[in-house]
Structure 1
């Protein structure tokens, strides 16, 4: 603690010493030195201290002396931090610690309580005294009023006292009622607080639910956009399919699938020549492919009109098509042939072509029924295996290769494909009507 650091408790201004505090300082110093030194030493120190103190306070101001001691750092000994020896005109054994302790005790005496670290200045003390005088005046006034009320209450008549008692009971009842209402209000407040907390919890739950709903709504919007895009795409595809269907309805499916034309003495189906001439040789691979296309054509025509063949089953397999006998088991008649001089193979091939004419005759008989019946330009003789040309004097052409010429065989095949071309036109017309 520094000796020159005492400030006012209110205005925080530094305090100045007053000479009237010197006797108190002497008294505090005397009590302090007696406690530190014993009985004998305390008597000697007391005389020296009183003499030195009286001479010192007569010669100079104590405030200046204190500042002089604190400012003179070269005159203090730093060997002992807790006991400083003051040199100069202090001829006594007083230490800086004892002076500080004495000053603190003086200020404690001035303030009147140990809890206050520092005293008040003169101005703050005057303000404090004025405040206390005002408070004391108010208390005296209230005391006089209480005395007057007490005297008037004692001298009041009995009727007025009973009225006052009744009024007091009424006020007590009113107080009890108000207390009960207050308790009910407290209960209502607690209930409202509980409800408010529950409402807050529900609000948080609803906020979270709203966030989830907003997320789901965004996902649904995204799905809706995707579905709308897909719907527009499907609508465009549907429009494209409708256009394609309209074009296909106008198209002759049989004429498009099976193209039959003539090239001199040859009849051609799907670019495959059916027949052979010495001057224009045709490979058996091409002939077999042409027979496969012809078998497929006959099977498609029969299914279109709902015809089931009776004696033979037609099996189109490209270049290896054949007929299966329905009356005799395990009899296969090939509609293809190899480039060999095998009489047995040619015999089976001839039987297959005659069986094919049988199936074609069954189709003709079924197609001739009704108002829009089919009328073929060339007649078919199944048992003989012949094709008849009425426009050429009723000339016959054999469909067999055995005991026949290549020109006659090729001509018979040409007449057969011409009948198929007429059949295609008839079926296409009937299909469009349906």
Structure 2
């Protein structure tokens, strides 16, 4: 047997029916069964008319339209669709007329609530609703009392006091208007200040970026400064070293440093090479030839320093293979060296080369004696006879090897190198800056 159940409008909980409601529900079912067909109200045995089916269909449609907010559910399901006031649960029994269903529903509402209401509520929701209504009632009563006190106070105030209060009220309203206007101005100022603050922040960020870039540039410049300082100190150190070397070089005699002439017993040496030989001190021809090469280079350097051009011969200093070339005769080379194993007594060209060398030395002596101060060589030179000597030597010694002894030839070479040593001192003193 089907039954009708109702839900609370607020909490959607099922409403518990009393015994009177259940009995009413049975009567409602019977009433619905009895009113299944509207034609049953006529006489028994009367045949149904053709319009009865259409009226039944119309009643069913009206019932469905009126119950469009209702959902027919089983006993285990409770749901609601639409925005109706309550939900019908369970199977719908035999379809009755719309008026009978509405009467049955109003009767159930009256039993559930005890009064005629549009929305069914459960007990808890009813208590909550009553509490809310009591609170609203208390607030309304308090407002009424406040209004009554205000009316009583107004009636007891005199006309002057009322005018004073009204003036005070106007003053307060004016003050309020002024404060509102001031507030608007403050809000505008705040907007302007916010805009200015944003601009200041943007500018600050830009300045910070510029400051960071400036710091990077400063660091780069400081690094370059350190590098330049190191380079400057290095240049200063090199300059100091160069100045020291220059001072030392200015004090140094280039000729004396390049050509060292001294005596080693009966022999004279130039740059460590002995020029000459004796039976007691034999010297190889390679060393003698090298000494002649140093002597030729020295004579050519002295002539260039003094600006002298030799008239009859041209020197060609080539170490151990030095020679002289005649400027007047055929340009035949006069060797200023002697080949090893060859007797110098048979080598006439070697003697001619030594005599020509002595002639070049005499040309330099004559040119140097004209200078200021004049050069004064200790030993006299007779280039035509190939002799070197003088009063200090006691006699003249021949520079030739033919018809001569080793001791006399070596002594002539020694006198010649002594004259070279004096020439070095003279050139160093006179051509110091040059």
Cα deviation, 1:84-142, whole Å, max 9, x if unaligned, reads: xxxxxxxxxxxxxxxxxxxx9654444349xxxxxxxxxxx9xx999989966775577
Q: Secondary structure at the match of 1:30?
A: coil
Aligned 1:296-307 pairs, distance under 5 A: 296-307=297-308
> What is the aligned counterpart of 1:189 among 175, 181, 193?
193
Q: Secondary structure at the match of 2:269?
A: strand
1:353–1:399 Cα contact (<8 Å) kept = yes
1:282 is aligned to 283
Cα deviation, 1:272-307, whole Å, max 9, x if unaligned, reads: 221233454321101011111212222332333333
Relative distance call for 1:281 and 1:411 in structure 2 (3 A) is: same
Cα deviation, 1:230-280, whole Å, max 9, x if unaligned, reads: 477x18x726953x6555555554344433233443222222221233454
Once residues 329 and 170 of structure 1 are traced to their aligned partners in structure 2, the CA distance between those partners, rounded to angstroms, is 138
The alpha-carbon deviation at position 179 of structure 1 amounts to: 7.9
1:322 is aligned to 323
Aligned 1:374-385 pairs, distance under 5 A: 374-385=375-386
Once residues 376 and 33 of structure 1 are traced to their aligned partners in structure 2, the CA distance between those partners, rounded to angstroms, is 169
The alpha-carbon deviation at position 401 of structure 1 amounts to: 3.0
The alpha-carbon deviation at position 222 of structure 1 amounts to: 4.0
1:292 is aligned to 293
More helix by share: 1
Once residues 28 and 129 of structure 2 are traced to their aligned partners in structure 1, the CA distance between those partners, rounded to angstroms, is 27
Once residues 108 and 167 of structure 1 are traced to their aligned partners in structure 2, the CA distance between those partners, rounded to angstroms, is 51
1:350–1:400 Cα contact (<8 Å) kept = yes
2:82 is aligned to none
Q: Structure 2 stretches of 5 or more lacking a match?
A: 1-12, 30-75, 78-120
Considering only CA atoms, is the larger Rg found in Structure 1 or Structure 2?
2
Once residues 34 and 376 of structure 1 are traced to their aligned partners in structure 2, the CA distance between those partners, rounded to angstroms, is 171
1:270 is aligned to 271
Alignment pair present for 1:370 and 2:374: no
Alignment pair present for 1:206 and 2:210: yes
Aligned residues, how many? 330
The alpha-carbon deviation at position 201 of structure 1 amounts to: 2.2
1:219 is aligned to 223
Once residues 41 and 129 of structure 1 are traced to their aligned partners in structure 2, the CA distance between those partners, rounded to angstroms, is 36
2:338–2:344 Cα contact (<8 Å) kept = no
Q: Secondary structure at the match of 2:212?
A: helix
1:292–1:318 Cα contact (<8 Å) kept = yes
> What is the aligned counterpart of 1:111 among 108, 122, 128?
128
Aligned 1:11-410 pairs, distance under 5 A: 29-30=15-16, 106-112=123-129, 139-140=143-144, 143=147, 181=185, 184-185=188-189, 187-216=191-220, 218-220=222-224, 222-223=226-227, 226-227=230-231, 230=234, 234=237, 238=240, 242=244, 250-326=251-327, 331-341=332-342, 346-392=347-393, 395-410=395-410
Q: Secondary structure at the match of 2:392?
A: helix
2:379–2:393 Cα contact (<8 Å) kept = no
Q: Please, what TM-score do these two structures have when normalized by structure 1?
A: 0.57
2:416 is aligned to 416
RMSD: 5.3
1:28–1:106 Cα contact (<8 Å) kept = no
Q: Structure 1 stretches of 5 or more lacking a match?
A: 1-26, 44-81, 84-103, 114-124
The alpha-carbon deviation at position 420 of structure 1 amounts to: 1.0
Q: Secondary structure at the match of 2:401?
A: coil
The alpha-carbon deviation at position 170 of structure 1 amounts to: 8.0
